[in-house]
Structure 1
């Protein structure tokens, strides 16, 4: 025999009333819901007090849930930050090192700009230079001291022209080619330059020693008036160099003068200017006298 269907109430009156009551309550609930929906659509403000009461009732629970959620996120972030602290520190160290490199480069550029501005100021305050160029190289180990610049005959450079940096005298042109020139440095053992002390008219000769220093020899022998720290400048004698250009600083006093350190150190010089000979006629006259003296010496021999 087949079991009776569960949807049928059977012959029990109590069960039939229960089913009827359930249908009736469901119908009434649906009608009430439709009525409330219609009222909420027609007058939305009617249920505002109820919504407010419901919000007030659940807000403490929402705040507690939000607090727990925020605390948990903070704990997770702290744990993640702890694990990533090593990589972050390494990254910060790399950034700091890169910033130091960029700062050093910026300082180098600033220093280069100051040198170039000083060079431009030198060119504007003195006679018009023949050419300006980078100091290509210089000898620093032999007794002969030469330097090389990247300008030559095509730029108007001639033998005997003085070479200056923004700090002072470097030397004078010894040989020229089309695009480059060789400079006889003041520290060369064959270099002799007439100078005077900057604060007075004490005259002397600055002779190269071949070791990067200059020997200052006084013309008037006797009591040595020089002091360590005295600055010597060109005197203008000889006709090659214009007067008043810085040459050297006395670092040691001797019986007939002293030992001086070159102000315009070639190793620390990047750019130079080539100036015309200060007094061409005086240079030519001295060259003629030198040739005549050489000829007389040869005739006597």
Structure 2
């Protein structure tokens, strides 16, 4: 970029020098012709010669003014063209730098991908886990002190099955409990009958997410747990329904062997959900 700036500065200096030279020549020519005119007016004889000389000088001055104006316009055009090509050169250099950066990023991504594949082979990690997703619209919800469920516009015709998990925009919100041809019922995670094995993200405290006394809690925490306010809770993978690692809620209060949590998604503001079915 320093080289580019030097090139631009050099072009600007040349243009300014050209403009100054034209201005200096014009001023010198005008001054000389004016002096000559004065000399001929006051010291020349006869008058016919003086008149002829004065007319000649006037025509020369007019011609010089025209030439100077055209020269200035030409200099301005050259300056505009130089600025245009200067911008093109700067843009071209910037694009070259971005291409070089993207090439390095691509090389790094390829290297990391190869390394990841090699590590999975060493650890004997399954490479192909098929995940099927269906996006569905929520057509109705029912949330009361006794039950919390939703009706979604997706059913058996969309390959939706009982116990498929439902995700909102940020995390888990429930699971399928009943299916029809084109609609299904979702038990939301704040339903009194919902029980989800969970683990806190940082302290790794395990428990069961459940609704008690109109509060969403993690219950059955161990006595020596270290759950902290602000932690994200995830599905632990225990049991056969929910895969490990799906975010659900945030810890807002810890009391003895319980932790009060708040869902990541606001159920009142969700219009569409994702129905996920994982099969190995």
Give me the TM-score of the superposition, normalised by structure 1: 0.47
Among candidates 171, 174, 182, match of residue 174 of structure 2: 171
Question: Runs of 4 or more off by more than 6 Å in structure 1?
Answer: none
In 1, distance between residues paired with 2:245 and 2:266? Answer: 18
Q: How many Å apart are 1:209 and its aligned residue? A: 3.2
In 1, distance between residues paired with 2:252 and 2:141? Answer: 23
Larger Rg: 1
In 2, distance between residues paired with 1:255 and 1:127? Answer: 40
In 1, distance between residues paired with 2:279 and 2:171? Answer: 15
Give me the TM-score of the superposition, normalised by structure 2: 0.51
In 1, distance between residues paired with 2:234 and 2:138? Answer: 22
Change in Cα spacing, 1:210 to 1:167, as seen in structure 2 (3 Å) is farther
Q: How many Å apart are 1:254 and its aligned residue? A: 1.6
Q: How many Å apart are 1:206 and its aligned residue? A: 0.4
Q: How many Å apart are 1:218 and its aligned residue? A: 3.6
Give the number of aligned pairs: 152
Q: What is aligned with 2:262?
A: 261
Q: What is aligned with 2:142?
A: 139
- Tell me if the contact between 1:235 and 1:242 (Cα under 8 Å) persists in the aligned partners: yes
Q: What is aligned with 1:157?
A: 160
Q: How many Å apart are 1:265 and its aligned residue? A: 2.5
**Mapping of residues 1-301 of structure 1, within 5 Å:** 128-209=131-212, 211=214, 213-220=215-222, 222-277=223-278
- Tell me if the contact between 1:164 and 1:273 (Cα under 8 Å) persists in the aligned partners: yes
Q: How many Å apart are 1:166 and its aligned residue? A: 2.1
3-state SS, counterpart of residue 245 of structure 2: coil
Q: What is aligned with 1:283?
A: none
Flag structure 1 segments of 5+ consecutive residues without an equivalent: 1-125, 280-301
State the Cα RMSD in Å. Answer: 2.0
In 2, distance between residues paired with 1:210 and 1:277? Answer: 33
In 2, distance between residues paired with 1:210 and 1:267? Answer: 20
In 1, distance between residues paired with 2:238 and 2:269? Answer: 27
Deviations 1:113-150 (A, max 9, x none): xxxxxxxxxxxxx9533411112222223321101110
In 2, distance between residues paired with 1:190 and 1:155? Answer: 26
Change in Cα spacing, 1:225 to 1:218, as seen in structure 2 (3 Å) is farther
- Tell me if the contact between 2:221 and 2:258 (Cα under 8 Å) persists in the aligned partners: no
- Tell me if the contact between 2:149 and 2:191 (Cα under 8 Å) persists in the aligned partners: yes
Flag structure 2 segments of 5+ consecutive residues without an equivalent: 1-128
- Tell me if the contact between 2:149 and 2:188 (Cα under 8 Å) persists in the aligned partners: yes
Deviations 1:141-195 (A, max 9, x none): 3321101110001110111111111200010001111110000010000100001
In 2, distance between residues paired with 1:278 and 1:258? Answer: 32
In 1, distance between residues paired with 2:167 and 2:250? Answer: 16
- Tell me if the contact between 2:138 and 2:273 (Cα under 8 Å) persists in the aligned partners: yes
Deviations 1:82-122 (A, max 9, x none): xxxxxxxxxxxxxxxxxxxxxxxxxxxxxxxxxxxxxxxxx
In 2, distance between residues paired with 1:199 and 1:230? Answer: 7
- Tell me if the contact between 1:188 and 1:209 (Cα under 8 Å) persists in the aligned partners: no
